[in-house]
Amino acid sequence: MSGPSVEVVAGGVAARRAFLAILWRDIFVTGKELGYFLSQVTIQPLFMLLVFGKVLNAGGYVSDEYSRLFLPGVIALTAFVTALQTVALPLVMELSYTKEIEDRLLAPLPTYLVAVEKMVIAVLRSLVAAGLMFPVGALVLGSLPWHVERLPLLLVSLVLAGWIGAALGLALATTVPPAKVNMVFAMILTPIMFTGATQYPWQSLDSIAWFKVLTAINPLTYASEAVRGAMVPHVPHIPPWLCLLVLVGAGTALSAVGVRGFLRRTIH
């Protein structure tokens, strides 16, 4: 008989405005410390590329081919780690010590959208960081493998890599007690980084079956494989459609856990 009430419509407008304003706040804060942000996200991948892509290659320990397939892995890893770092530790601080997120929790938008915004800013920041890896990689390695027709796949893969990083960060930050968070991060992050097929193609693991299985349950593997599929398609890789499917599934599951944790931590 009647459409949505004035209140519902006004609430929707208010929520959209609030969401954008909160996103703008995070972009603004990122901009304020841009130099710090850029150096924080590039320093580790830069040295990884330098040593594994350049130094070992110069010494004859790894081939040019390895340098080429390592770069996509580093790019995927950068997207994943940047997103995770954007959400995780700052959120732990905001929820427990500084409480500075409270003003945003009292903004006129459904609380779950504050968690969604955290993931959105994390993905945006991870795209910037991953994007930065292209010139860095070209500079360090002297060339950049890429295929115009595969750019859409590349972009989608990087967005999904950022998303699973952000969602994992949200899930960890809201479920691990603040006092234990540093320990848990150290315990979790390193295994994820090294079993995520960033430094080797998954199909090259046939001779170590147990490690191949371990790698297959790490969602980061599918991000690395998808980026590799987009940048160096001649290297054997997991089919991109399968990678994207797994990434969407993992992102959805981790986001669900993260958002639920967020709601539990913010509404008592």
Helical axes 151-175 vs 64-96, angle rounded to 10°: 40
Alpha-carbon gap, residue 24 to 148, rounded angstroms: 32
Between the CA of residue 214 and those of 191, 197, 211, 249, what are the distances in Å? 10, 10, 5, 18
Binding site for another protein (CB under 8 A): 7, 10-11, 13-15, 17-18, 21-22, 24-25, 28-29, 32, 98-100, 102-111, 266-268
CA angle 155, 85, 167 (to 5 degrees): 65
Cβ closest to another protein, residue 98 vs residue 252: 98
**SS3 sequence of 95-138:** HHCCCCCHHHHCCCCCHHHHHHHHHHHHHHHHHHHHHHHHHHHH
For the bound state, the minimum distance from the C-beta of residue 173 to another protein, rounded and expressed in Å, comes to: 17
Cβ closest to another protein, residue 175 vs residue 199: 175
For the bound state, the minimum distance from the C-beta of residue 98 to another protein, rounded and expressed in Å, comes to: 6
For the bound state, the minimum distance from the C-beta of residue 89 to another protein, rounded and expressed in Å, comes to: 14
For 18, the token pair is: 């609030």
Cβ closest to another protein, residue 29 vs residue 208: 29
Cβ closest to another protein, residue 42 vs residue 111: 111
For the bound state, the minimum distance from the C-beta of residue 237 to another protein, rounded and expressed in Å, comes to: 40
Inter-residue contact 95 to 1 (CB < 8 Å):
no
Cβ closest to another protein, residue 32 vs residue 180: 32
- How many secondary structure helices (H) and strands (E) does the chain include? 11, 0
For the bound state, the minimum distance from the C-beta of residue 37 to another protein, rounded and expressed in Å, comes to: 12
